[in-house]
Amino acid sequence: MEGSIAVVLCAAGSSTRMGGIKKEYRPLGEGNPLTVLGAAAMAFAASPRVGLMVIAVPAGAENGEFAARASLPPVLLPPEARLPILFVPGGSSRRVSVHHALSLLFAYQPDYVLIHDGARPWVDLDLIERTIDAVIQHQAVVPVVPLIETPKEIDAAGFVQRHLRRRSIGAAQTPQAFAFPELLAAHEKAAERELVEHLEYTDDAEVWGEFVGPVATIPGSPKNRKITFPEDLV
């Protein structure tokens, strides 16, 4: 039986590699009225299975929530909106921002949560629906795409340490999806370990794998690129 599903959009970063311009709030392209964040939000709002969305915005920014709201299309905002959208201040890292969003969602107790980079505007409904199907089956899932280049492990001096095989390595995308209660508990354990050991988890699949168990994979999409540099919008 399918449970309730929430979405977290991560848009709390500083966009330093975009020249300080907040990438999620930039227009998606010439002739496209949507912003980067607006396009990502619209994709998830198109799924009738998604019941709630939380957007993590920069912490301490005077207009953090206001700027995020202004970047969304009117159809996603009251009085037109079908999907409730909440905003939460992010933290010092992506993991902390996600943890803040999960803590906010605790009052709503969704069964599953999809976590997506707000800087991935080209996510499509097919990938979203396949991710939802997979998380209901496996409890934890991440989309991956095969590597094109041959990866090498490099040591601190810049020499090749290991010759890795492409067939056993994939590049992780979002949305990553998980059973909600277990992911929140895992983030609480990750926060404790980060504090004691001064380390940082890079994504939610790593947090789940460390504290809960295996993470299933599904095929990602080459179109589902993440915007990092200004040229990525061309």
- Dist. CA 26–CA 153, nearest whole Å: 35
pLDDT in tens, 79-90: 889 899 999 999
Residues in the chain: 234
| Cis before 79? omega within 30 | yes
Q: Give the domain CATH number at 11.
A: 3.90.550.10
Split into its structural domains, the chain has a count of 1
Residues near 106 by beta carbon (within 8 Å), at least 6 away in sequence: 184
pLDDT at 62: 62
Domain span holding position 31? 5-233
Closest CA to 68 of 80, 56, 60: 56
Q: Quickly state the pLDDT bin for 13 (edges 50, 70, 90).
A: confident
pLDDT at 152: 95
- Dist. CA 48–CA 46, nearest whole Å: 6
- Dist. CA 86–CA 76, nearest whole Å: 11
What token pair was written down for 120? 């991935």
Q: Side chain identity at 234, as an amino acid letter?
A: V
Q: Quickly state the pLDDT bin for 61 (edges 50, 70, 90).
A: low
- Dist. CA 42–CA 90, nearest whole Å: 21
Taking the model in full, what pTM does it have? 0.93
Taking only Cα atoms into account, the Rg of the chain, rounded to an integer number of angstroms, comes to 18
Residue 17 has pLDDT above 70, yes or no: no
Residue-wise DSSP of the chain: ----EEEEEE--S--GGGTTS-GGGSEEETTEEEEHHHHHHHHHHT-TTEEEEEEEE-TT-TTHHHHHHHTS-GGGSTTT-SS-EEEEE--SSHHHHHHHHHHHHTTT--SEEEEEETT-TT--HHHHHHHHHHHHHHSEEEEEEE-SSPPEEE-TTS-EEEE--GGG-EEE-S-EEEEHHHHHHHHHHHHHHHHHH-----SHHHHHHHHT---EEEE--TT-PPP-SGGGG-
Q: What's the mean pLDDT when you consider all of the chain?
A: 93
